């Protein structure tokens, strides 16, 4: 577990001998006791500051290499040492219909379901770098679905006379310098079919990527 976390969450700074540690928050959630531990970790191991990212994670900087294992043990003791930070398995989602009055679908629920997929049938792809999944509970872009390699935004559609939650699948965004483009709409998929659709898409990617 430590070696996987080290490979995905720890990055070398340009300053020799120092490292940046990404603290992955599942669904962007953190408890008061975890925050206190994070504040202690920042003072004890880094420069005393904690940075937030637009990927719903936190970052600790100025960590010496010889102190990384002790920092991992501390973070793991409070559930803050989840691997795959900023990787494929680290799904970003807005609050969605759970708490937002504009939300149509439960984007957090879908993010949880996809997280389970990456812990099971797609665990071999969870640490893939350079691909992100982002979910919004409505057409507004709070979940950043428009700049995701695989993005979803919530809606509704009638099937056999009954209205059901759906997601518009968006594919192909790029943020590389000189190649910036938004994701394009591909298909409208019922919510319950999204995990299967993501699995099929990623297996195709795995088989045919160049």
* Residue-wise pLDDT tens digits, 65-88: 999 999 999 999 999 999 999 999
- Measured CA to CA, the distance from residue 169 to residue 91 in angstroms comes to 15
Say what the pTM is: 0.91
What integer pLDDT is reported at residue 177 of this predicted model?
Answer: 87
* Structure-block tokens of residue 198: 């993501």
More confident residue, 134 or 179: 134
Q: What distance separates the 2 farthest-apart alpha carbons in the chain?
A: 63
Q: Are 174 and 194 in contact, with CB atoms under 8 Å apart?
A: no
pLDDT value, residue 128: 95
Give which of 112, 162, 174, 101 is closest to 137, Cα–Cα: 101
Average of per-residue pLDDT across 20-35: 96
Tokens of 107: 């984007």
Q: In angstroms, rounded to a whole number, what is the distance separating the alpha carbons of residues 99 and 85? A: 25
């Amino acid at each position: 577990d430590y070696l996987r976390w080290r490979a995905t969450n720890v990055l070398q700074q340009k300053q020799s001998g120092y490292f940046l540690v990404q603290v992955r928050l599942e669904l962007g959630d953190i408890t008061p006791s975890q925050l206190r531990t994070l504040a202690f970790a920042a003072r004890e191991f880094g420069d005393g500051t904690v940075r937030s990212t637009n990927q719903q994670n936190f970052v600790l900087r100025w960590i010496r290499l010889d102190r990384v294992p002790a920092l991992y043990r501390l973070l793991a003791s409070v559930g803050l040492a989840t691997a795959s930070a900023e990787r494929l398995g680290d799904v970003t989602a807005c609050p969605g219909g759970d708490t937002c009055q504009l939300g149509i679908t439960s984007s957090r629920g879908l993010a949880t379901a996809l997280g389970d997929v990456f812990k099971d049938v797609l665990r071999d792809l969870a640490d893939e770098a350079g691909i992100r999944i982002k979910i919004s509970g409505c057409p507004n872009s709070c979940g950043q679905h428009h700049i995701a390699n695989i993005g979803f935004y919530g809606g509704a559609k009638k099937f056999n006379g009954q209205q059901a939650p759906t997601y518009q699948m968006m594919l192909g965004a790029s943020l590389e310098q000189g190649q910036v483009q938004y994701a394009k709409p591909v298909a409208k998929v019922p919510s319950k079919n999204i995990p299967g659709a993501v699995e099929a898409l990623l297996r195709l990617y795995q088989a045919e990527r160049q």
